[in-house]
Amino acid sequence: MLFSSIPFLYYFLPCVLIVYFILPKTLKNAWIMLSGFFFYGWGEPRFLLIMIASIAQGYVFALLIERFSSRPALKKLFLALSCIVALGLLGYFKYADFFISSFNAVTGLSVSLLNIALPIGISFFTFQIVSYDIDVYRGDVAAQKNPIDLAAYISMFSQLIAGPIVRYSDVAAQLKSRTHTIEKFSSGVRRFIIGLSKKMLIANVLGELVSDFKASDEKSLLFFWLYAVAYTLHIYFDFSGYSDMAIGLGRMMGFEFIENFNYPYISASITEFWRRWHISLSTWFRDYVYIPLGGNRVGKLRWVFNIFVVWFLTGLWHGAAWNFALWGLLYAVLLMNEKLWSLKLLGKSKVISHIYTLLFVIIGFVLFDASSLGEAAGNIASLFGFGGHPLVSTESVYALRSYAVVFIIGIIGATPLAAKLMAKLRSNEAVGKVINVAEPFVLVLLLAVCTAYMVDGAFNPFLYFRF
């Protein structure tokens, strides 16, 4: 079940919210858990057992870690067992066939693939469980004694399949007690509709251009750049749109989740880009992999090793294929280059640093989107005129004219310009009153347009099945 679908929007969500607000405080978390289980099991009920098993082992091992906190060896053993079980399930379902095919490619053997279906969202809830047990091990949080509350945290449908990766420490107090107000609920509705609009009206439309490019037999230099920019905007509005919807849904039920994106395409360096892009993931790897490895408090060779490990894992987290691994390693090289040499140089020219950042981000996403390393190499080469394609073609000119308005909206929407303009208009008392009156009507109109797209069966991909 997707957020951007009629069953979710007009059947599941209203029923969940109505029952949620009718139930007494003591039963709200149980309802969140049950609705999360129903949401997750909607498409593939058998995968629900995987998530329940993951939650159960995380719950039990956290209690054992806390129970034997005075015995370091046992405490460490229980943490290791929890991580082995959680990451083992992730490795089996997500990476088994990847490792087998890689083994076959290296050895020339023909070991049969397992053809395992990937449970949606397994990367997200696995990281939440692992971080929870690590935080209990470190003494940062107390182990949750109530299994329903822990299950509600893990299975909360708002952030279950596409993030952000919400840490237990950020919502532990809210699981116990949270406030529900009309203002918070309406703010959540507003945030959800904005996210839905980003997904349906910008990301999906640009996704159509990406699909048209891949199906085209009339490629040109212009078409390659249209594709690259379209995909770069597409993945941002899709991912940030889902994060907006998750934050909005959480707010409707009294939760405050962390922000996951902060206008990453205005960055003046790759370092800054990763402070603004998928914040919950980059901080997760920093706190649970990079720092435990020693971070930058070690010798230079070990620091380089730490960087490569973190970014190799970051790449593979996004998908079980070598293009994702190379995508992560590309960022490892760029980040090391900035930290060792180029960051000070980039600070001397905002224009050059911004062009440099966007260029490598676009190249990175072309690599990210490729179905094979050969395709990635060919597409990147073609961006710079080495593919033997003409400068323009009839189809590329048609695509530019057809999608020009969406490109302009997407480029402006990927910057804080619109938000700053709106804040300035609201600062005027008279204009602010007009905006406050008009805003609900605009939101209803956006919801109606998104609904029309859904009813029409418009292009509506789900990117996160590989995560």
CB crowding 401-413: b at 16 or more within 10 Å, else e: eebeebbebbeeb
Both tokens of 50, joined, read: 């995987």
User: Alpha-carbon distance 444 to 441, whole Å?
Assistant: 5
Q: Which of 209, 349, 359 has its CA nearest to residue 270? A: 359
Determine the distance from the C-alpha atom of residue 440 to the mean position of all C-alpha atoms in its chain, rounded to a whole number: 28
Both tokens of 108, joined, read: 């020339």
Question: Of 180, 278, 318, 354, which residue is the catalytic one?
Answer: 318
Both tokens of 11, joined, read: 């059947």
Determine the distance from the C-alpha atom of residue 465 to the mean position of all C-alpha atoms in its chain, rounded to a whole number: 11
Please say if 318 is a catalytic residue: yes
Hey, which residues are catalytic here? 318
